[in-house]
């Protein structure tokens, strides 16, 4: 464990790239990604995720990019920042993480440190990743090399809470390794670090951050469904309740993305593996996983009340990304709503100025439209609260629909008096 290490960041996505740039400002850093197109665009000073500006990329004077694993061999520390998704059965998919571990094992040298940033269940780093590193490298963990865990806290699209301004949890497989990992991150994190007592504690802390948010949003979603049946405006209720100093300001909506809609399944998987069946967490997941279908059903009901034949209707969905002002399409629940409309026989068109049309086509088979024609739709659904949609205002959004069109606002960007329905 050297004092001035050469860094390698494995995976240059939403998490890995900001990390590589931050280290690359002061330390020799290699950004490795198997995607050659991604490496090429970064080498040209462009980031398609829009997390890092060209100006910020230019500040990382000690950072180089590569798709060749062998070029990372001289590095002293490997930081793994790859996705940890779930499969179609809602089970953790450690495939990308174990693949990255095997890759690191191929170039691992005595004295190296491997730090994982991917969200996992408690125990995964030492029980799943460490054995792979040992098997491939032929080295012995905590003797020849060491591991650490420092969970990512990237919030895509958030220009205020950035890598350097968020407290970083750190941990290591031995006390000395934990101290070294903590010192390493303190070189780039202005907000400071929190050294956890063990890797398992750090893993658990990360996985409950988003589980807590998921459960809270599920409660508000359930309340919204109840109030909708009562004819009460949920937003008005939340504004009234929010006048109490300790009321938490959560809002209803679709819960997608790579974190909140995924991380709880890692925790529940581990809980069930040790013989405990989590009830509150899974109940929250069921509520949030079904919200897209509930929204579609509400829109269809409003259309039916207006005498619109849904099977012959043309519906415009504004927004496809999993959150506002961000191009990230991973695990977006807007897709579930679109599929539900398709099941009713409706024709659905999607407009999202943030989403990459190529990614939308590749990931979901959807063709985005660039300029929705005015007066053409039987229903307009505001699914994502992009600032551009807010700037359009109620008149321009309503003008996209026919005279009898249903206007449904999932994100509360329009006045209640200007829409036919919202959560």
| Whole-number pLDDT of residue 157 | 73
Closest CA to 405 of 339, 314, 343: 314
pTM of this structure: 0.91
| Whole-number pLDDT of residue 155 | 79
Query: How far is Cα 224 from Cα 232, in angstroms, rounded to an integer?
Result: 9
Per the annotation, the verdict on 259 as an active-site residue is yes
| Whole-number pLDDT of residue 292 | 96
Q: Which of 8, 75, 259, 326 is catalytic?
A: 259
DSSP secondary structure letter of residue 118: S
Query: How far is Cα 36 from Cα 42, in angstroms, rounded to an integer?
Result: 10
- What burial letters (b/e) apply to 160-184, b meaning 16+ CB within 10 Å? eebbeebebbbbbbeeebbebbbeb
pLDDT tens digits along 333-359: 999 999 999 999 999 999 999 999 999
CA atoms within 13 A on the CB side of 386: 23
* Residue 77 contacts residue 32 (beta carbons within 8 Å): no
In the chain, the largest separation of any two C-alpha atoms, in whole Å, equals 73
Taking 50 as the pLDDT cut, the residues of the chain under it are: none
From residue 91, give the alpha-carbon distance in Å to each of 83, 134, 285, 361: 14, 25, 13, 25
pLDDT tens digits along 23-76: 999 999 999 999 999 999 999 999 999 899 999 999 999 999 999 999 999 999
Query: How far is Cα 181 from Cα 203, in angstroms, rounded to an integer?
Result: 15
| Whole-number pLDDT of residue 257 | 81
Q: At 150, list the tokens.
A: 């420092």
> In degrees rounded to 5, what are phi and psi of residue 88?
-65, -15
What residue spans of 276-333 are helical by DSSP H?
A: 280-289, 291-305
């Amino acid at each position: 464990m050297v004092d001035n290490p050469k860094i390698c960041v494995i995976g240059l996505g939403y998490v890995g790239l900001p990390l590589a740039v931050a280290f690359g400002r002061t330390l020799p850093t290699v950004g490795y990604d198997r995607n050659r197109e991604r490496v090429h665009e970064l080498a040209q000073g462009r980031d398609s995720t829009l997390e890092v500006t060209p100006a910020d990329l230019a500040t990382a004077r000690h950072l180089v990019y590569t798709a060749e694993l062998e070029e990372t061999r001289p590095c002293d520390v490997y930081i793994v920042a790859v996705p940890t998704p779930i499969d179609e059965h809602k089970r953790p998919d450690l495939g990308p993480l174990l693949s990255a571990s095997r890759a690191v094992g191929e170039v691992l040298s005595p004295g190296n440190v491997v730090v994982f940033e991917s969200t996992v269940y408690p125990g995964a780093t030492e029980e799943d990743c460490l054995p792979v590193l040992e098997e491939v490298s032929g080295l012995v963990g905590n003797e020849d090399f060491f591991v650490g865990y420092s969970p990512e806290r990237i919030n895509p699209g958030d220009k205020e809470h950035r890598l350097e301004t968020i407290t970083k949890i750190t941990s290591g497989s031995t006390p000395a390794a934990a101290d070294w990992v903590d010192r390493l991150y303190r070189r780039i994190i202005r907000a400071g670090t929190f050294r956890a007592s063990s890797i398992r504690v750090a893993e658990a802390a990360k996985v409950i951050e988003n589980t807590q948010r998921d459960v809270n949003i599920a409660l508000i979603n359930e309340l919204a469904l109840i109030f909708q049946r009562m004819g009460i405006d949920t937003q008005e209720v939340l504004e009234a309740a929010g006048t109490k100093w300790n009321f938490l300001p959560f809002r209803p909506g679709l819960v997608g993305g790579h974190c909140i809609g995924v991380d709880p399944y890692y925790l529940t998987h581990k809980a069930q593996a040790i013989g405990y069946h989590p009830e509150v967490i899974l109940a929250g997941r069921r509520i949030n996983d079904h919200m897209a279908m509930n929204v579609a059903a509400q829109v269809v009901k409003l259309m039916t009340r207006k005498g619109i034949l849904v099977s012959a209707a043309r519906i415009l969905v504004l927004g496809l990304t999993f959150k506002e002002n961000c191009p990230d399409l991973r695990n977006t629940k807007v897709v579930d709503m679109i599929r539900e409309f398709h099941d009713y026989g409706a024709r659905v068109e999607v407009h999202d100025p943030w989403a990459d049309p190529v990614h939308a086509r590749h990931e979901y088979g959807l063709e985005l439209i660039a300029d929705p024609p005015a007066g053409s739709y039987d229903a307009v659904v505001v699914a994502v609260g992009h600032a551009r949609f807010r700037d359009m205002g109620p008149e321009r959004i309503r003008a996209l629909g026919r005279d009898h069109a249903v206007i449904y606002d999932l994100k509360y960007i329009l006045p209640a008096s200007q829409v036919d329905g919202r959560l």
